[in-house]
Amino acid sequence: QVQLVESGGGLVQAGDSLRLSCTASGRTFSSLTMGWFRQAPGQEREFVGAVNQTSGSTTYADSVKGRFSISRDNTKTTVYLQMNSLKPEDTAVYFCVARSYGGLRTGEFEYNYWGQGTQVTVSS
């Protein structure tokens, strides 16, 4: 089993930056592909981005490409989501996810571990 705990959410204004963190425990972190999803009120969960085990590769949704970046520190068993130039439409609950296999997948069912989520609210 893998436990994921997110932190760093909050209320910001449009144009601001925010960094989310997710700390993992319970399994060798370096073996996990890590990612982020988000869910806005009344909408389905949306893939945000993912990073492979060695930080050698990342992938992002078109809606965040160029504004968000994912990184990980395997020594701290933590993955980060740096969000810049935030927009009101980025308002959502952000979930940290992990999968036990390689591959930068974008489907929510590809990830077998989920955090509880952290709220990000962007005011206009």
| Measured distance CA(96)–CA(36) in Å, rounded | 5
Question: What confidence score (pLDDT) does residue 103 get?
Answer: 87
User: Between residues 94 and 102, which one has the greater pLDDT?
Assistant: 94
Share of the chain above pLDDT 90, in %: 91
Question: What digits encode the pLDDT tens for the residues 28-41?
Answer: 899 999 999 999 99
- Please tell me the predicted confidence (pLDDT) of residue 56: 80
Q: What is the arrangement of strands in the sheet containing 3-7, beginning at the earlier edge strand?
A: 3-7, 18-25, 78-83, 68-73
Residue pLDDT, tens place only, 2-52: 999 999 999 999 999 999 999 999 878 999 999 999 999 999 999 999 999
* C-alpha angle 42-45-50 in degrees, rounded to nearest 5: 155
Distances (CA, A) of 2 to 38, 95, 113, 115, 120: 19, 14, 6, 9, 23
Cα-based distances in Å from 76 to 86, 91, 96: 26, 28, 15
Chain Cα centroid distance, residue 56: 17
pLDDT band, residue 62 (cuts 50/70/90): very high
Residue 82 has pLDDT above 90, yes or no: yes
Share of the chain above pLDDT 70, in %: 100
